């Protein structure tokens, strides 16, 4: 995907790299770390994020081969501007011990089936519900934010063994979750392309 990078973004990345050396990260990990930091202006994400380069490589290939992208809320979808996403929150209802967010994940899974990339930046209960499904995801970007359930749901994601991008702290949110997906979306698929 060729994209025109605005001079403000170029300068922002220059300043980020002047304050933090990211050159030791493998290519896709570096792309995710830098884009997340850029989205939040928070250098601590460099040590807070948890991911595996080989999982990112497989997810990158799946994304560029057209795998569906599912998001937990419209705010995450709004941050992913160069790809259609599935968000079923408007159709979801709370009940039977399920939050609306958890029900939306069930509805989305019924729609897309296995192999999707899941981007959760808002609701820990959405991430918890995804972990109960046999979703066989290409990747789970699990970056819900908050003081109730966020840390625990992200720890459960890491313990699940699913291919994932998560973080250790309470931090997260729609902007950083969409930034992590965009890092994979914008990263070149061939050496000739520029990010």
| Cα gap 58→139, rounded to integer Å | 8
How many alpha carbons lie under 13 Å from residue 128 in its C-beta half-sphere?
16
Can you give the pTM of this predicted structure?
A: 0.93
Question: Is 38 a catalytic site residue?
Answer: yes
Classify residue 30 as exposed, middle or buried by CB count within 10 Å of its CB (0-12, 13-18, 19+).
Answer: middle
Residues 175-190 as b/e (b if ≥16 CB within 10 A, e otherwise) read bbbbbbbbbbbbbeee
Report pLDDT digits (tens) over 135-179. Answer: 999 999 999 999 999 999 999 999 999 999 999 999 999 999 999
Mean pLDDT, residues 5-16 taken together: 86
Percent of the chain whose predicted confidence (pLDDT) is above 90: 85
191 band by pLDDT with thresholds 50, 70 and 90? low
Catalytic annotation, pick one of 6, 24, 38, 187 = 38
Give the CA dihedral 163, 104, 62, 29, nearest 10 degrees: -50
Mean pLDDT, residues 181-194 taken together: 78
Phi first, then psi: give them for residue 119, nearest 5 degrees. -120, 105
Are 160 and 47 in contact by the 8 Å Cβ rule? The answer is no
For strands 117-120 and 69-71, give the pairing. Answer: parallel
Mean pLDDT, residues 20-30 taken together: 96
The CATH number given to 7-186 is 3.40.50.10230
């Amino acid at each position: 995907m060729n994209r025109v990078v605005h001079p403000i973004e170029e300068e922002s990345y220059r300043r980020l790299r002047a304050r933090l050396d990211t050159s030791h990260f493998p290519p896709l990990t570096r792309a995710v770390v830098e884009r997340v930091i850029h989205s939040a202006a928070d250098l601590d994400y460099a040590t807070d994020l948890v991911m595996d380069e080989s999982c990112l490589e497989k997810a990158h290939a799946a994304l560029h081969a057209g795998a569906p992208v599912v998001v937990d809320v419209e705010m995450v979808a709004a941050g992913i501007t160069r790809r259609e996403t599935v968000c079923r929150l408007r159709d979801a209802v709370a009940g039977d011990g399920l939050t609306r967010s958890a029900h939306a994940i069930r509805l989305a899974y019924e729609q897309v089936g296995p192999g999707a990339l899941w981007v959760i930046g808002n609701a820990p209960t959405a991430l918890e519900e995804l972990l109960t499904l046999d979703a066989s995801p290409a990747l789970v970007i699990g970056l819900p934010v908050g003081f109730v359930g966020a840390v625990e749901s992200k720890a459960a994601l890491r313990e699940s063994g699913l291919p994932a991008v998560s973080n250790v702290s309470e931090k997260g949110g729609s902007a950083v979750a969409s930034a992590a997906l965009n890092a994979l979306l914008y990263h070149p698929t061939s050496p000739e392309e520029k990010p």
